[in-house]
Amino acid sequence: MSSARPVCQSAKSNAETTDKCPVCQKTGGCDSWLSCEICDRWFHTKCVDISDDTYKVLQKIQNCHWYCNSCDNKIGKIIPALGKISDRVDGLERTLTQMDQKLEKQVKDLEEKFKIQKLKLYY
């Protein structure tokens, strides 16, 4: 499989591949292929029920993303989990910023007390 992808990011012709379609296990037999962006396997469009007209449209889309059925089911679970992780990270960053601000204030207070104590010692 070539790492360089056409405009669709997931389409290529039969002449560009030596990959086996995971559905039919054949390397040829179809002029159009789609690559799953998650598992990076190449599928004959006909084996995954993509019509020639749909395939032509996909080739014209500049940021085309396609996932095989197996990965599509998994991504449906991953995306909400990533959203929850992102929310937790945002919350932790807010907490860290608040703690940093409190710590800076405490350091300034201690420095001020130290200056006062130091001045008292000199006089």
Supply the pTM of this predicted model. 0.53
Residue 86 lies in a domain: yes
Kindly state the percentage of the chain with pLDDT values over 90.
Answer: 26
Does the pLDDT of residue 79 top 50, yes or no? yes
Alpha-carbon distance of 75 to 45, in angstroms, equals 20
pLDDT on residue 90:
96
C-alpha 29, offset from chain centre: 32
Taking the C-alpha atoms of residue 52 and residue 42, their distance in angstroms, rounded to an integer, is 16
pLDDT at 12: 57
User: Mean pLDDT over all residues of the chain?
Assistant: 81
Please report whether residue 73 resides in a domain.
no
Q: Which CATH number does the domain housing residue 53 bear? A: 3.30.40.10
pLDDT in tens, 2-51: 333 433 445 555 445 577 889 898 887 667 888 888 888 888 888 999 99
Decide: 43 and 26 in contact? Cβ < 8 Å: no
Torsion of CA 100, 106, 107, 111, to 10 degrees: 160
Question: Looking at per-residue confidence, does 11 or 72 come out higher?
Answer: 72
Is the distance from CB of 42 to CB of 33 less than 8 angstroms? yes
Structure tokens at 43: 């599928």
Handedness of CA 48, 51, 54, 60 (dihedral sign): positive
What's the total number of domains in the chain?
Answer: 2
* Percent of the chain whose predicted confidence (pLDDT) is above 70: 80
Tell whether 25 and 53 lie within a shared domain: yes
Last residue of a domain, one of 20, 46, 67: 67
| Spatial separation of the C-alpha atoms in residues 85 and 123, rounded to whole Å | 57
Cross-strand bridge partners of residue 44: 33
Per-residue pLDDT at 122: 67
Residues 6+ apart with CB under 8 A from 29: 14, 21, 44
Q: Are residues 55 and 93 in the same domain?
A: no
Domain of 98? 80-123
